[in-house]
């Protein structure tokens, strides 16, 4: 259970960082604004969670769980906060990410 909570925390921080970086990218000076600084700081915080996760799990396992959950979460962020859209192939890719997580967890 501790693993899932830590992965969830890392994902939340990543989503926060991506939200900040997306806002930075929409500014006239994307490389020189507070959104970029906030995004970089938030991303740096995720490294602490990764180190703790790597102590007890192999990298392949946590990478698949993290990346699949992150893809789904960022999809929601893009759709609901930035009005982005996806193609049917991209939706299929989301499905593949979910299936990969299920498969990785079946052997855990």
Q: Where are the domains of the chain?
A: 2-106
> Residue 19: its pLDDT value, please?
95
The C-alpha angle with vertex 104 and arms to 90 and 107, in degrees rounded to 5, equals 160
> Residue 107: its pLDDT value, please?
60
In the predicted model, residues of the chain with pLDDT beneath 70 are 1, 107-108
> Residue 103: its pLDDT value, please?
83
Residue from 54, 43, 62, 60 nearest 4 by CA: 62
> Residue 108: its pLDDT value, please?
53
Residue 5: its H or E element: helix 2-25
Instruction: Please count the residues of the chain.
Output: 108
């Amino acid at each position: 259970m501790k693993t899932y909570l830590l992965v969830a925390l890392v994902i939340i921080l990543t989503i926060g960082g991506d939200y900040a970086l997306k806002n930075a990218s929409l500014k006239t000076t994307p490389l020189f604004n507070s959104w970029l600084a906030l995004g970089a700081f938030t991303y740096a915080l995720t490294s602490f969670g990764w180190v703790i996760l790597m102590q007890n799990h192999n990298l392949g396992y946590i990478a698949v769980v993290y990346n699949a959950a992150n893809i789904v979460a960022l999809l929601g962020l893009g759709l609901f906060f930035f009005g982005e859209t996806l193609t049917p192939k991209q939706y299929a890719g989301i499905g593949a990410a979910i299936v990969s997580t299920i498969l990785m967890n079946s052997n855990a």
